[in-house]
């Protein structure tokens, strides 16, 4: 069982002989891309996860239609799915430490039904949404969703204090940029709450903060205050590529630009996903110079518009996972995600990547086309809660030792 604790924990290992191969010179946080050798990692925790409860227009904009009635206040995910998800997360943590010598941190266990002054939160399984390392700065997201307002503090507050303490003791220059706190009424849904229910299968054009550059589509949040999830951004050296989405607005992008250290910059990719929420099932960099992308959400032309991809090998996934029926469909429901979640893999380094074990077609393609070594791990119950390996992690240190 997952121990109940009020303090953040490092992953324990079941092997008494195991000694992590962590160099003492390793910084506390330092990452500038998504593929350099991973040396330190935060992995989420599923216990007590609830279906996120946001206004109906947001659920319609971002969630698959089949399960939308589940997104009610204080409605827990099925207990067996949460228990299995925790087993998968624990196993993932064990493999990262034992096989790859990566230092792994775990968040504290939170009873999400008791957070947000009793109105409930969501999960501790998706830390990528709330935290991002840019160089030696840890940035906390200004989350759009009300049910996630306290998520970072509740699940990762102790962890953030601990890494700050570690950095101080080592004399490192590390910065943690906590999000501004909204106390009282949030304005981010103003003008959007009275939208008609409409056909639950139809995407509702809810826009207030305006069309994005490539479509006339509007968003489920307005632009009255900064809002962004870190999972709408990815690091490509000093260029951070991001997208506007139903949880990320222009003020959120401006805020991120203002708090990241020099010389990092943020560029927006014009994606064409009506349900946009998190960029990490749209693009997947495998290594310096090679990127896989979802061709129904972004074009090669749009990617090439960004200097950082100038000489890159840009590869569309050559099949549409949404059109596949395969063994994956026997698994627990993907309540919150499309089948493009297959791209939500996590690189250990430029040659090795962690992929959900049922995604055999994808795994073989990575091996044959790109010479990758694919680490296949079970994660379908974590997928059920809203993400895969990339969502469930925050890479704290990447780079050669």
Residue 372 burial class via C-beta count within 10 angstroms: exposed 0-12, middle 13-18, buried 19 and up: buried
| CB closer to ligand NVA out of 222 and 344 | 344
Q: What is d(CA 380, CA 386) in angstroms, rounded to the nearest whole number?
A: 10
Is residue 17 classed as helix, strand or coil in its secondary structure? coil
Q: Write out the two tokens for 111.
A: 């009873």
Closest CB to ligand NVA among residues 299, 338: 338
Applying CB under 6 A, does 356 fall inside the site for ligand NVA? no
Identify which of residues 29 and 281 has a Cβ nearer to ligand NVA in the complex: 281
* Half-sphere CA count of 167, side-chain side, radius 13 A: 20
We find the least distance from the C-beta atom of residue 231 to ligand NVA, in angstroms, to be 6
With respect to ligand NVA, which residue has the nearer C-beta, 90 or 232?
A: 232
Task: Tell whether residue 230 is a contact of ligand NVA (CB under 6 A).
Answer: no
Cβ 51 to ligand NVA shortest distance, Å: 15
Q: Where are the alpha helices (DSSP H) in 49-194?
A: 56-62, 79-100, 151, 157-169
Residue 346 binding ligand NVA, by CB under 6 A: no
DSSP code of 45?
Answer: B
Stretch that binds ligand NVA, among 89-97, 99-107, 338-346, 351-359 (CB under 6 A): 338-346
- CA–CA distances in Å: residue 222 to residues 189, 197, 229, 230: 6, 18, 15, 18
Q: Estimate to the nearest angstrom the gap between the alpha carbon of 7 and the chain centroid.
A: 23
If one asks whether residue 328 binds ligand NVA (CB under 6 A), the answer comes out as no
**Are 388 and 356 spatial neighbours (Cβ–Cβ below 8 Å)?**
yes
Nearer to ligand NVA, 10 or 338 (CB): 338
Region from 171-179, 217-225, 334-342, 349-357 binding ligand NVA, contact rule CB under 6 A: 334-342
- Does position 85 interact with ligand NVA (CB under 6 A)? The reply is no
Binding mask 366-395 for ligand NVA (x = CB under 6 A): ---------------------x---x----
Out of 40, 70, 344, 383, the residue judged to bind ligand NVA by CB under 6 A: 344
Cβ atoms within 10 Å, residue 232: 29
Are 113 and 76 in contact by the 8 Å Cβ rule? The answer is yes
Residue range at the interface with ligand NVA (CB under 6 A); choices 88-96, 129-137, 337-345, 346-354:
337-345
Q: Which residues of 104-136 are buried (b: 16+ CB within 10 A; e: fewer)?
A: bbbbbbbebbebbeeebbbbbbbbbbbbbbbbb
CA 76 – CA 63 distance, rounded (Å): 16
Among 104, 192, 277, 372, binds ligand NVA (CB under 6 A): 277
Q: Under the criterion CB under 6 A, does residue 256 sit at the interface with ligand NVA?
A: no
Is the distance from CB of 219 to CB of 227 less than 8 angstroms? no
280 contributes a contact to ligand NVA by CB under 6 A: yes
Beta carbon nearer to ligand NVA, 29 or 277: 277
Q: How far apart are CA 194 and CA 187, in angstroms?
A: 14
Between 47 and 344, whose beta carbon lies closer to ligand NVA?
344
Q: Which two tokens stand for residue 152?
A: 């970072």
By C-beta, is 278 or 398 nearer to ligand NVA? 278
Residues that bind ligand NVA (CB under 6 A): 277-278, 280-281, 337-338, 340-341, 344, 387, 391
């Amino acid at each position: 069982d997952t121990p109940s604790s009020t303090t953040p924990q490092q992953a324990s290992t079941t092997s008494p002989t195991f000694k992590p191969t962590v160099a003492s010179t390793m910084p506390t946080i330092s990452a500038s891309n998504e593929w350099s050798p991973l040396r330190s990692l935060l992995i989420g925790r599923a216990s007590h996860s609830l279906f996120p409860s946001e206004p109906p227009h947001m659920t319609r904009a971002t969630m698959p239609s089949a399960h939308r009635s589940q997104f009610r206040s204080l409605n827990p995910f099925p207990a067996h799915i949460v228990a299995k998800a925790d087993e998968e997360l624990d196993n993932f943590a064990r493999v990262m430490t034992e096989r790859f010598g990566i230092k792994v941190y775990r968040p504290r266990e939170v009873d999400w039904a008791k957070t947000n002054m009793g109105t409930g939160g969501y999960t501790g399984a998706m830390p990528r949404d709330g935290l991002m390392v840019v160089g030696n700065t840890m940035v906390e997201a200004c989350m759009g969703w009300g049910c996630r307002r306290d998520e970072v503090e509740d699940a990762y507050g102790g962890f953030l204090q601990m890494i700050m303490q570690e950095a101080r003791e080592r004399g490192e220059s590390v910065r943690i940029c906590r999000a501004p706190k909204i106390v009282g009424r949030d304005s981010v849904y103003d003008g959007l709450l009275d939208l008609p229910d409409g056909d639950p299968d139809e995407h509702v054009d809810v826009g207030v903060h305006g069309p994005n550059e490539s479509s006339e589509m509007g968003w489920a949040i307005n632009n009255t205050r900064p809002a962004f999830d870190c999972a709408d951004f990815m690091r490509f050296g000093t260029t951070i590529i991001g997208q506007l989405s139903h949880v990320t607005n222009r003020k959120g992008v401006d805020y991120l630009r203002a708090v990241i250290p020099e010389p990092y910059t943020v560029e927006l990719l014009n994606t064409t996903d009506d349900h946009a929420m998190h960029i990490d099932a749209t693009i997947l960099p495998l290594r310096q110079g090679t990127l896989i992308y979802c061709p129904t959400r972004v074009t090669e032309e749009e990617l090439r518009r960004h200097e950082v991809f100038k000489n890159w090998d840009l590869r569309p996934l050559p099949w549409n996972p949404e059109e596949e029926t395969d063994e994956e469909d026997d698994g627990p429901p993907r309540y919150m995600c499309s089948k493009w979640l297959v791209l939500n893999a996590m690189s250990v380094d430029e040659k090795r990547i962690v992929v959900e074990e049922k995604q055999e077609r994808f795994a073989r393609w990575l091996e044959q086309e790109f010479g990758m070594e694919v680490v296949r791990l079970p994660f379908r119950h974590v997928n059920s809660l809203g993400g895969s390996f990339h969502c469930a992690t925050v890479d704290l240190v990447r780079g050669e030792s």
